[in-house]
């Protein structure tokens, strides 16, 4: 594990305010983290990474969900079907779950932002071109160019596993056409898991709605780890909501 991964995975798992299903499979659930103070007028659907594999679940992004909720953001931390024994995932099932997760109603009117990290970023970018009902997408260190990721054999052939060995150009954000909503990509120059070149490819292909923010000397996990400098870039992309004061 890298130091960044240790820092994120070492944070305590913050319990949600509620967990609600959006389908019959055990992985089709959302953890709701509700605003701890005055609402910021932002609702986030959050998609975790892990190269679409059953071995990784939503719990490692619970500290991020709790930190955003402390800033008045209503967060829906989504689980989805993944690849592996009993996982039921792969293309298109995993993407279909990501779309269904965005359709879970919030508690009130708010700007709805879909935020995805790594493989979750891939799903978010697919959604950006698919007419999904969100106002904006933020993709952090996304697997944005599936063909290139496949050629590089990222994470021991994770793309092959996700696609079931087939060829699905509709699963590749680079090939899905222009983004229909504003997209912000945050990607570090020192990412050892998903090379920055994948985000550059997507930004060049997906049109004027895409902004790529390159984070110098940043790896794969810092932007989704509360308290880091890269996390501040995520807050800026969200509109930098203010932190709620601690209760007395």
Question: pTM of the predicted model, to two decimals?
Answer: 0.96
Domain ranges of the chain: 3-237
- Map residue 18 onto helix, strand or coil: strand
Token couple for 32: 């709701």
Are 165 and 83 spatial neighbours (Cβ–Cβ below 8 Å)? no
Q: Which residues of 107-118 are buried (b: 16+ CB within 10 A; e: fewer)?
A: eeebebbbbbbb
Across all residues in the chain, what is the average pLDDT? Answer: 95
Maximum pairwise Cα distance, the chain: 57
Rounded to 10 degrees, what is the CA torsion of 180, 184, 185, 189? Answer: 150
Phi, psi of 151 (to 5 degrees): -60, -40
* pLDDT at 52 > cutoff 90: yes
**pLDDT tens, position by position, 100-158:** 999 999 988 899 999 999 999 999 999 999 989 999 999 999 999 999 999 999 999 99
- CATH fold for the domain made of 3-237: Rossmann fold (3.40.50)
Are 126 and 134 spatial neighbours (Cβ–Cβ below 8 Å)? no
Question: Which pLDDT score, from 0 to 100, does residue 108 have?
Answer: 86
Question: Which pLDDT score, from 0 to 100, does residue 248 have?
Answer: 30
Host H or E run for residue 8: helix 3-9
When pLDDT is averaged across residues 163-179 and rounded to a whole number, the result is 96
Q: Which residues of 63-91 are buried (b: 16+ CB within 10 A; e: fewer)?
A: bbbbbbbbbbbbbbbbbbbbbeeebbbbb
């Amino acid at each position: 594990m890298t130091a960044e991964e240790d820092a994120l995975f070492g944070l305590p798992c913050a319990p949600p305010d509620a967990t609600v299903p959006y389908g019959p499979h055990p992985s089709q659930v959302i953890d709701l983290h509700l605003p701890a103070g005055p609402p910021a007028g932002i609702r986030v659907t959050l998609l975790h990474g892990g190269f679409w594999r059953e071995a990784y679940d939503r719990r490692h992004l619970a500290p991020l969900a709790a930190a955003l909720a402390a800033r008045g953001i209503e967060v829906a931390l989504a689980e989805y079907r993944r690849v592996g024994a009993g996982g039921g995932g792969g293309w298109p099932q995993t993407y279909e779950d990501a779309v269904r997760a965005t359709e879970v109603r919030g508690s009130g009117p708010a700007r709805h932002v879909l935020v995805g990290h790594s493989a979750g970023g891939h799903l978010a970018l697919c959604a950006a071109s698919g007419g999904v009902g969100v106002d904006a997408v933020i993709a952090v260190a996304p697997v944005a160019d599936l063909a290139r990721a496949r050629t590089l054999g990222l994470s021991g052939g994770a793309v092959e596993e996700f696609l079931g060995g087939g060829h699905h150009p509709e699963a590749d954000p680079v090939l899905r056409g222009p983004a229909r909503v504003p997209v912000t990509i945050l990607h570090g120059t020192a990412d050892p898991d998903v090379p920055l070149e994948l985000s550059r490819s997507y930004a060049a292909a997906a049109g004027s709605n895409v902004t790529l923010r390159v984070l110098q000397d940043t790896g794969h996990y810092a932007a989704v780890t509360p308290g880091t400098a890269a996390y501040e870039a995520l807050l800026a992309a969200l509109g930098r909501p203010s932190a709620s004061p601690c209760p007395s």
